[in-house]
Amino acid sequence: MEGIHGREENIVAQAISPANVKDKLQEFLETIRGKEGGLKYRTRISQLIADTNKTLIVDYEDLALFDPEVTQEIHINPESTFKAFDEAALWVVSQEVPAQKETFKDLKVRLRGLPGAISVREISADKLDKLVAVSGMIVRVSELKPLAVEAGYRCRQCNHVTKEKQSGLMLRKPQECEECHDTKSLDIEPTESTFIDFQVIRMQELPEDLPPGALPQASEIQLLGNLVGTARPGDRALITGIIRAEPEQSLAGKSRVFHSHVESNYVEILGKEPENIELAKEDVDKIRTMVSQPGAYERLVKSIAPGIHGFETQKEAVLLLCIGAPRTQLPDGSTLRGDINVLLVGDPGTAKSELLKYASRAAPRGLYTSGRGSTAAGLTAAVIRDKSGMMMLEAGAVVLADQGVACIDEFDKMRTEDRSALHEMMEQQTVSVAKGGIVATLNARTSILAAANPVFGKYDPYRNISDNLNLPIPLLTRFDLIFIIRDIPDKVRDEELAKHVLGMHETGAYPTKPPIDFVLLKKYFTYAKKFNPVLTKEANARILEYYLQMRSAGSESMITVTPRQLEALIRLSIARARALLHEEVTEEDSIHAVSLVKRMLETVGVDVRTGKVDLGVLHGKPMSERNLLQTAVDVFKELEGDPKNPVDGKLFVDALVKTGKFDQDEAQRMLQSLNRSGQIYETKPGQYRKI
CA 79, CA 521: separation in Å to the nearest integer? 44
CATH entry 3.20.20.70 includes domain 281-603: no
Percent of the chain exceeding pLDDT 90 equals 0
Cα separations (Å) of 178 from 165, 171, 174, 181, 235? Answer: 14, 18, 9, 6, 47
* Angstrom distance (rounded) from CA 106 to CA 55: 9
Q: CATH homologous superfamily of domain 118-270? A: Nucleic acid-binding proteins (2.40.50.140)
pLDDT digits (tens, 9 = 90+) for 418-462: 777 787 878 888 888 777 677 777 778 888 898 888 887 787 777
Give per-residue pLDDT as tens, 472-512. 777 888 888 888 888 778 788 888 888 888 888 888 777 77
Per residue in 586-599, pLDDT tens? 888 888 888 888 88
Q: What is the Cα–Cα distance from 89 to 22, expressed in whole angstroms?
A: 10
Element holding 89 (H helix, E strand): helix 78-96
- Average pLDDT of the chain to the nearest whole number: 79
- Position 643 scores a pLDDT of 72
DSSP state of 211: P
Q: Please determine whether the domains at 2-112 and 118-270 fall in the same fold group of CATH.
A: no
The two beta strands, 186-188 and 194-204, are unpaired
pLDDT of residue 647: 74
Query: Which of 161-175, 181-195, 676-690 is least confident?
Result: 676-690
Instruction: Please report which helix (H) or strand (E) contains residue 392, including its range.
Output: strand 391-395
CATH of 2-112, one of 3.40.50.450, 3.30.1640.10, 1.10.10.60, 3.40.50.2300: 3.30.1640.10
Q: How far apart are CA 380 and CA 402, in angstroms?
A: 11
**Contacting residues for 311 by C-beta, under 8 A, at least 6 apart:** 305, 351, 355, 485
Query: What CA–CA distance (Å, rounded) separates 500 from 195?
Result: 67
CA distance 218 to 522: 27
CA separation for the pair 510, 226 (Å, rounded):
53
Write the CB contacts of 457 (distance below 8 Å, at least 6 apart in sequence).
Answer: 347, 348
Please tell me the least confidently modeled range out of 6-10, 171-175, 270-274, 289-293. Answer: 6-10
Would you say residue 5 has pLDDT above 60? no
Determine the length of the chain: 691
CA 256 to chain centre: 38
> Could you give phi then psi for residue 590, rounded to 5 degrees?
-70, -30
Distance (Å, whole) CA 352 – CA 451: 6
pTM given for the model: 0.69
Dihedral, 332, 336, 337, 338 alpha carbons, nearest 10: -120
| Domain map (residue ranges) of the chain | 2-112, 118-270, 281-603, 623-690
Check pLDDT > 50 for residue 535.
yes
9 band by pLDDT with thresholds 50, 70 and 90: very low
**pLDDT (tens digit, 9 = 90+) per residue, 519-531?**
888 888 888 888 8
User: Is residue 274 scored above 60 in pLDDT?
Assistant: no
Query: Residue 62: what pLDDT?
Result: 85
pLDDT value at 253 more than 70: no
